Chains A and B, each alone.
Chain A
Amino acid sequence: MELLEVKNLSKHYKSFDLKNISFALPKGYIMGYVGANGSGKTTTLNLITGMLKCTEGEVYIDGLSCGEDMRAYKEKIGYVGDESYFPEHYKIRHIRSVLKDFYPTFSTDRFNGFIRKWKLPEKKPVKDFSRGMKVMLMFASVLARDTKLLVLDEATNGLDPVMRTEVLKLLQEYVMDGEKSVIFSTHILSDLENIADYIYFIHGGRTVLYDAKDELIENFLLVKGESAKIPPALKRELIGVEENAYGFEAVLPSDKAELLGNAFLFEKPTIDQIVIHYIKSREEQ
């Protein structure tokens, strides 16, 4: 059963186009939404949350679109951004009061529990919080109510390793009951390596790769060797060839492995390596 369905999502700007983004995220899974700066990650996530209006396409969360019932649609979403979206002069009591007013499933006890657990200062305005505190406050505000989909827009950037580990653990606990899902954009691809089930890779507003993470890793090889030895047939298939003093490094679709012969080293790539070589190849084009 799909929790999030994105169908042919497009957004037109003067200087940028997001074109035909389509994917489905089943219940109980985590999707990593990756790409370089300006590739359209935040635009896609803002379209999903309903903050932006799409030029074309549709988004369904648990079978419901924003146009059908905006309130119910937004109640299903928990959003954590790269920066705090709370009014800076608000204190925790103000945020608690607003959330209580707007979300029928908001639990004050659960919220207070997170505030105590993460030692967030009740008396200070949000503007005096550290970056980590602001992120955890956003998490407290979304985890204290019943949501179906967590949308994270580079939420772990700038967090220290302890806090990042805590956030990743939270995400895994969130999807544990098999009823909820997470879509997660980040630059820290090692995070995805640990927790993502699906990877969606976007570049220049267009889909580059979309698959289950394990499949994706199986589908590519990281190839290294001497540049001079690359035969033309192999050169055409290599993706994002990066030359250095010792030779070259590139990724190759696994089904082209027979082109390698014995002259090159190859191994399983990480998500990071696949993405970096793909970005390089796109930029060269």
Chain B
Amino acid sequence: MRALHFMKIDYMLTRKQMYFMPVFFVLAWVMGTGVSEGAMSLLVVCSYTLFVASIFSTAPFGYCVGKNRGFLLLLPATVKERVAGRFLYGLSFVGLLGVLCGILWGVYAMLGYELPLWTVALGLCELAVGILLMALEFLFFYLFGEGKENWQHLSNIVRIAPGMAMFFSMCYFVEEIDGIQGTMAVSMGIDPKVFAGKFMQVGVTAIVAALLLTAVAAAVCARVIEKRDYA
């Protein structure tokens, strides 16, 4: 329960950035439709949205430096609860933007766009990568920079670079992917529909694996922070 309260603290800390999320989402849609169309544009929208999520999910670390950390440290809770709260914030933030992408997917389906199953699976894989990026960034922030005030440049690189790589890769390969998946199905001698089903399994497995790795990262962070001063 206290972990949820810590999550709430982080949402209150970063409340101003939440107002900009719809703007980023519209921007993502504009970029997606600019690069491609239909299901393929949705993949670009997802990658941009998750790029944004990977940047903004780490925002609470920036608010809790120096004297401001005292507030969290004095609250009657364990280190595990505090770290779990921060990870829940990150996970729910990425998840929330993932849900927005899902809704857009639904809107496209209702408008009659053809949305092959394998693109949905690829969207799930993108979400898994988004979750994983968030977990790795949190791991980095907790292990190397929690509470530090003078490492702005490095922290910006850590926040931006991985998500940016994911986004630009998707923009670059978006037109190739369709052909690649068809070629792969043919070369493996599998019916494209069956292949898409297998791909869907990979997508779900990727999400589960990302969640498990996030839990491991949270446990590692809690263990390390417990040994520190100002824990």
Q: Do A and B bind each other?
A: yes
Chain A interface (Cβ < 8 Å from any Cβ of B)? 49, 51-53, 70-75, 77, 79, 81, 83-90, 94, 97-98, 101-103
CA A278 to CA B75, docked complex, whole Å: 37
| 17 extra A-B contacts, CB within 8 A, seeds A51-B230, A53-B229 | A53-B228, A71-B77, A71-B78, A74-B74, A79-B70, A79-B74, A83-B67, A85-B69, A85-B74, A86-B71, A87-B13, A88-B68, A90-B12, A98-B8, A98-B71, A102-B77, A103-B76
Report the minimum CB–CB distance from B32 to chain A (whole Å). Answer: 32
Known: A51-B229, A51-B230. A86 touches B68 (CB 8 A): yes
- Chain B residues with Cβ below 8 Å from A102 are 2, 5, 75-77
B16 within 8 A of A: yes
Is B219 an interface residue, CB under 8 A from the partner?
no
Query: What residues on A are CB-neighbors of B2 within 8 Å?
Result: 102
Q: Is the CB of B76 within 8 A of A74?
A: yes
CB distance from B10 to the nearest CB of A (A): 10
Question: Per a CB cutoff under 8 Å, which of B63, B68, B70, B77 touches A51?
Answer: B70
Check A85 against B77 for contact (C-beta < 8 Å).
Answer: no
- Is the Cβ of B12 less than 8 Å from the Cβ of A74? no
* A52: B residues at CB distance < 8 A: 229-230
- Interface: B64 (CB within 8 A): yes
Is the C-beta of B9 less than 8 angstroms from some C-beta in chain A? yes
Taking a contact as CB atoms under 8 Å apart, the answer to whether A71 and B230 are in contact is: no
Docked-complex contact B13 and A70, CB < 8 angstroms? no
Asked if A87 and B76 make an inter-chain contact with CB atoms under 8 angstroms apart, the answer reads no
Query: B74 touching A87 by the CB < 8 A rule?
Result: no
Question: How far does the alpha carbon of A137 sit from the alpha carbon of B73 in the complex, in Å?
Answer: 17
Q: Which residues of B contact A86 (CB under 8 A)?
A: 68, 71
Nearest CB on A from B225, distance (A): 11
Query: A68 to B12, alpha carbons, bound, how many Å?
Result: 31
Q: Which residues of A contact B77 (CB under 8 A)?
A: 70-71, 74, 102
- 17 A-B pairs with CB atoms under 8 Å apart are A51-B74, A51-B230, A70-B76, A70-B77, A70-B78, A71-B77, A74-B74, A74-B75, A74-B77, A75-B76, A87-B63, A89-B16, A90-B12, A90-B13, A97-B8, A98-B8, A102-B76
A79 CB, nearest partner CB in chain B, Å: 6
Bound Cα distance from A45 to B68, whole angstroms: 17
Flag if A89 contacts B63 (CB, 8 Å). yes
Given A98-B9, A102-B2, the answer on whether A51 and B73 have CB atoms closer than 8 Å is yes
Chain B residues within 8 Å of A77, by CB: 74
A84 touches B76 (CB 8 A): no
Chain B residues closer than 8 Å to A79, beta-carbon distance:
70, 74
Nearest 10 A/B pairs, CB to CB: A85-B70, A74-B76, A101-B5, A71-B76, A75-B76, A85-B71, A52-B229, A83-B67, A94-B12, A102-B75
Interface presence of B160 (CB below 8 A): no
Residues of A within 8 A of B74 (CB): 49, 51, 74, 77, 79, 85
Give the chain B neighbours of A72 by CB distance below 8 A. 76
A79 to B68 Cα, complex, angstroms = 14
Contacting residues, chain A, for B229 (C-beta < 8 A): 51-53
Cβ contact of A53, chosen from B9, B64, B231, cutoff 8 A: B231
Name B73-123 residues within 8 Å CB distance of A: 73-78
* Chain B 201-231 interface mask (CB, 8 Å, partner A; 1/0): 0000000000000000000000000001111
Question: In this complex, what residue of B is CB-closest to A85?
Answer: B70
From B13, B68, B69, residue with most partner A Cβ within 10 Å: B68
Nearest CB in chain B to that of A104: its residue: B76
Given contacts A49-B74, A102-B77, A103-B76, contact A87 B230 (CB under 8 A): no
Q: How far is the CA of A146 from the CA of B38 in the complex (A)?
A: 60
For the complex formed, measure the closest distance between the CB of A181 and the CB atoms of chain B, giving whole angstroms.
18
Q: How far is the CB of B86 from chain A (nearest CB, A)?
A: 14
B67: chain A residues at CB < 8 Å are 81, 83-85
Q: Which of B71, B75, B231 contacts A87 (CB 8 A)?
A: B71
Chain A residues with CB below 8 A from B70, complex form: 51, 79, 81, 85
Residues in A with CB closer than 8 Å to B73 are 51
Report how far A87 CA is from B6 CA in the complex, Å.
13
Chain B window 176-209, contacts with chain A (Cβ cutoff 8 Å), 1 for yes, 0 for no:
0000000000000000000000000000000000
Residues of chain A with a CB closer than 8 A to B64's CB: 87
Q: Which has the most chain A C-beta neighbours within 10 Å: B63, B76, B77, B228? A: B76
Q: What CA separation (Å) do A70 and B78 show in the bound complex?
A: 7
| Chain A residues with CB under 8 A of B75 | 74, 98, 102
Q: How far is the CA of A60 from the CA of B76 in the complex (A)?
A: 16
Name, among A74, A81, A87, A98, the residue most crowded by chain B CB atoms within 10 Å (CB to CB): A87
